[in-house]
């Protein structure tokens, strides 16, 4: 017991010690972030002010790339479209995921943790394989959907509109993100003291009123986390649109990729990236400022 | 007298466990009615059946004469003050109190007036905008109570709401609760395991044990004439002696005869319990003029300020608890001292 105490004491002293020890503990992650996040970001910013001459990068400081971004409406329109698509994905995911989280937290009689594990099942398959399956096995000209519908005699010719458009991109993103964002919403719902729901019922609230006035507002932090989880990566999504999106499903990140890759214009690619970063951070900022969730809830 | 709540042969089973076993009682309008018992006696389950959160397995609950079996909690004229208070953390004090009124869609100015009235009642005016987590324990109590009172329920149900408070605050809240109840005149049903709270506040007490109601009565009846050894011991830690009764005398093994008030209904030789409250037993080096006096030896002395509690060993090896007013240093009996304990026949009662 005494030994235990001294060990505990020593550990505590170490932590109490000085800022040095805290820095020491944080240093691996700090280093990681410096090297793999901050450094590339700074590089991007620097690069965005450079010029291209044929295939050569010219280190300088010009605003050409930004001027190009703001004068050609194609780019901002595409960014807007991507944000719109990401918004649709987020709405779909939260709309489907919230009832699942609610069911898991309040209604299930089977072990909720077993169900949660099952929910995570799809992530045992790599996303590349999933999207490959969608493109080649499910939605393609001779894929499962077309074969099935033709065999049933519902269609004569294979459908081509089921792929290569923005809606299928949204659909597949919803499919892949939904199980994932159940987690933060589930965690948030689990934290709600069940006696609060009884209290609401006791004070005359019907089950629906209880949900709107107590459950939903109290689970809002989880919903917010879920929104950020889906929205941010969806705005910058490029794998899904490039595989199943076709020209109609083209998203903003695809032109970033193209600038770095085929277009060979790294400075403009950097500018595109930074503009997306700024807009996305702006959205996150507004969401975190909460638009005063409480007020929205009051108005319901 | 109008009856606000009536339970008729109510039983509640959870699986094979019988939580409440065939209980019946009536609560009159405006009464402060307590369900008192140790934990696990079924008192909270009983309360939750009145509130509508549990359905009786058998029997009926009536409120103002109306059968409540199929009425969900949100349609019952009862409000519950929860054990953990269950104040809404995302709403401020005002919105917590106004919750039920807003649900009922009362006009805004009326809500405002009622909430103000309630805050005045518990002397917390000016707290409207406070967040729940900024309140102290006692303030939370008060808000929880008026939140349940504001829409004027027929019955207010309280599930050990004073449990988490420290002793001093609890004593204050007991006085406060009784005052609130007197001012609003609502029927209160109060669940507690604390006999002091129950005795202080209640008009009537139902003592429960193992899912059954053992005795219903005023605090004085429950305290002065308990109907079973359990109640006598649970409320006020009585001294119990068991023996055969005959003609005003109880013969206790190893101790001798104890004179009691004659009980004509009790047949001779019937085994009875004598219950003597600690504060009704006298202790001294010499005792005169008492009906029953026994020799004993002080085993333990607890000086508690106003009173001193003694544990005295009698010759039949039983320990008697005596509570005496502390009357000065030289009159305190020390452990090991030979003393006499005694009482008059009228100060003890018989449990048959």
Q: Are B157 and B41 found together in one domain?
A: yes
Please list every residue in chain A whose beta carbon sits closer than 8 Å to the beta carbon of residue B147. Answer: 203
Q: What is the least distance, in Å, from the CA of A159 to any CA of chain B? A: 51
Contacts of A218 in chain B (CB under 8 A): 89-90
Where is the domain boundary, B229, B264, B279?
B229
Asked if the Cβ–Cβ distance from B79 to A200 is below 8 Å, we say no
- Closest partner residue to A205 (CB to CB) among B74, B78, B148 is B74
pLDDT at A18: 63
Best of A188, A194, A204, A221 to substitute, by most chain B Cβ atoms within 10 angstroms, is A204
**For residue A300, what pLDDT is reported?**
41
Of B72, B90, B100, the CB nearest to A294: B90
What pLDDT shows up at residue A12?
63
Residues B170 and B310 in one domain: no
Low-confidence ranges of chain A (pLDDT < 50): 1-2, 295-296, 298-300
Domain CATH number, residue A91:
1.10.3720.10
Residue A208: give the domain boundaries: 48-299
Enumerate the residues of chain A whose CB falls inside 8 A of the CB of residue B74: 201-206
Whether residue B31 contacts residue B203, with contact meaning beta carbons closer than 8 Å, is answered with yes
- Tell me which of B174, B208, B229 is where a domain ends: B229
Would you say residue A209 lies in a domain? yes
Number of domains in chain A: 1
In a domain, A167, yes or no: yes
Residue A275 falls within a domain, yes or no? yes
- Domain containing residue B286: CATH number: 2.40.50.100
Report pLDDT for A296.
45
Q: Are residues B142 and B224 in the same domain?
A: yes
B91 and B155 share one domain: yes
- The sign of the dihedral angle between the CA atoms of A227, A232, A236, A240 is negative
Using a CB–CB cut-off of 8 Å, the residues of A that contact B are: 193, 195-196, 198-206, 209, 213-214, 217-218, 294, 297
Listed residues B229, B260, B281: the one ending a domain: B229
Same domain, B166 and B253: no
Are residues A213 and B74, on separate chains, in Cβ contact within 8 Å? no
- Please, what's the b/e burial string for A140-158 (b: 16 or more CB within 10 A of its CB; e: otherwise)? beebebbeeeeeeeeeeee
Q: Do residue B205 and residue B246 come from a single domain?
A: no
pLDDT at B167: 82
* Pure H helices in A120-265: 127-132, 144-151, 166-190, 194-202, 207-210, 216-235, 239-240, 252-260
**Within this chain, do residues B163 and B297 fall inside the same structural domain, yes or no?**
no
Overall pTM > 0.80 = no
In a shared domain, residues B225 and B243:
no
In chain B (352 residues long), the average pLDDT of successive 10-residue segments reads: 89 92 92 91 92 92 90 90 91 93 91 92 88 89 91 91 82 87 91 89 92 92 88 85 86 86 80 89 88 91 89 90 82 87 88 80
**Cα dihedral value B16, B215, B52, B107, nearest 10:** -170
pLDDT at B270: 82
> What is the structure's pLDDT at A2?
46
Residue A206 domain-assigned?
A: yes
Query: B295 is in which domain, residue-wise?
Result: 237-351
Q: Looking at residue A295, what is its pLDDT?
A: 46
Please tell me whether residues B36 and B157 are part of one structural domain.
yes
CA-closest candidate to residue B189, choices B26, B52, B71 = B26
Q: How many CA atoms within 13 Å lie on the side-chain side of A120?
A: 6
Domain count, chain B: 2
- A188, part of any domain: yes
B172 shares its domain with B249:
no
Q: Are residues B98 and B146 in the same domain?
A: yes
In a domain, A21, yes or no: no
Specify if A246 maps to a domain.
yes
| DSSP letter (8 states) at residue A136 | I
Q: What is the pLDDT of residue A13?
A: 63
Instruction: Tell me whether residue A89 is in a domain.
Output: yes
Which two tokens mark B122?
């518990």
In angstroms, rounded to a whole number, what is the distance separating the alpha carbons of residues A114 and A116?
5
Nearest to B100 among A196, A203, A217 (CB): A203
Same domain membership, residue B245 and residue B155: no
């Amino acid at each position: 017991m005494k030994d235990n105490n001294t060990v505990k004491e020593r550990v505590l002293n170490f932590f109490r010690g000085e800022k040095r020890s805290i820095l020491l503990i944080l240093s691996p992650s700090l280093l990681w972030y410096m090297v793999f996040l901050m450094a590339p970001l700074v590089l991007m910013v620097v690069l965005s002010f450079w010029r291209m001459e044929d295939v050569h990068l010219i280190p300088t400081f010009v605003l050409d790339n930004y001027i190009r971004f703001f004068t050609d409406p194609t780019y901002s329109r595409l960014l807007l479209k991507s944000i719109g698509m990401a918004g649709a994905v987020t709405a779909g995911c939260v709309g489907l995921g919230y009832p699942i989280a609610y069911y898991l937290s309040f209604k299930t009689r089977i072990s909720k943790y077993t169900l949660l594990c099952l929910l995570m099942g799809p992530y045992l398959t790599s996303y590349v394989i999933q999207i490959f399956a969608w493109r080649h096995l499910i939605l393609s000209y001779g894929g499962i959907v077309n074969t099935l519908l033709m065999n049933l005699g519902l269609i004569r010719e294979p459908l081509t509109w089921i792929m290569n458009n923005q809606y299928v991109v949204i659909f597949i993103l919803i499919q892949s993100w939904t199980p994932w964002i159940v987690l933060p919403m589930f965690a948030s719902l689990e934290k709600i003291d069940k006696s609060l729901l009884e209290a609401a019922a006791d004070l005359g609230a019907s089950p629906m009123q209880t949900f709107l006035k107590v459950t939903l507002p109290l689970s809002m932090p989880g919903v917010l986390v879920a929104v950020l989880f889906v929205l941010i990566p969806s705005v910058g999504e490029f794998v899904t649109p490039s595989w199943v999106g076709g020209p109609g499903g083209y998203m903003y990140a695809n032109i970033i990729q193209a600038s770095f890759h085929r277009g060979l214009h790294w400075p403009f690619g950097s500018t595109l990236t930074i503009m997306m970063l700024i807009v996305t951070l702006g959205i996150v900022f507004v969401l975190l400022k909460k638009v005063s969730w409480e007020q929205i809830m009051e108005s319901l | 007298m109008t009856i606000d709540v009536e339970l008729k042969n109510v039983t509640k089973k959870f699986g094979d466990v019988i939580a409440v076993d065939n209980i019946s009682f009536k609560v009159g309008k405006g009464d402060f009615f307590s369900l008192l018992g140790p934990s696990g006696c079924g008192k909270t389950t009983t309360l939750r059946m009145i509130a509508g959160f549990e359905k009786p397995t058998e029997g009926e609950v009536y409120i103002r004469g109306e059968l409540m079996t199929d009425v969900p909690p949100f349609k019952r004229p009862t409000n519950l003050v929860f054990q953990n208070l269950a104040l809404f953390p995302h709403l401020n004090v005002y919105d917590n109190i106004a919750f039920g009124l807003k649900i009922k869609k009362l006009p805004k100015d009326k809500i405002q007036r009622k909430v103000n009235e309630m805050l005045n009642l518990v002397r917390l005016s000016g707290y409207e905008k406070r967040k729940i987590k900024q309140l102290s324990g006692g303030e939370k109590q008060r808000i929880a109570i008026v939140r349940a009172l504001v829409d004027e329920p027929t019955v207010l149900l309280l599930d050990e709401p004073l449990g988490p408070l420290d002793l001093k605050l609890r004593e204050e809240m007991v006085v406060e609760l009784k005052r609130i109840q007197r001012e609003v005149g609502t029927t209160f049903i109060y669940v507690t395991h604390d006999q002091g709270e129950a005795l202080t506040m209640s008009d009537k007490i139902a003592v429960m044990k193992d899912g059954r109601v053992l005795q219903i009565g005023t605090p004085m009846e429950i305290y002065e004439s308990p109907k079973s050894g359990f109640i006598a011991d649970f409320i006020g830690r009585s001294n119990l002696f068991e023996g055969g009764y005959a003609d005003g005398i109880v013969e206790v093994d190893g101790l001798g005869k104890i004179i009691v008030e004659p009980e004509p209904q009790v047949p001779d030789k019937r085994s009875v319990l004598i219950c003597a409250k600690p504060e009704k037993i006298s202790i001294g080096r010499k005792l005169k003029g008492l009906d029953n006096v026994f020799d004993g030896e002080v085993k333990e002395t607890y000086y508690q300020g106003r009173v001193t509690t003694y544990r005295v060993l009698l010759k039949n090896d039983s320990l008697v608890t005596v509570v005496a007013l502390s009357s000065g240093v030289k009159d305190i009996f020390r452990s090991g001292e030979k003393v006499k304990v005694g009482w008059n026949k009228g100060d003890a009662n018989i449990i048959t």
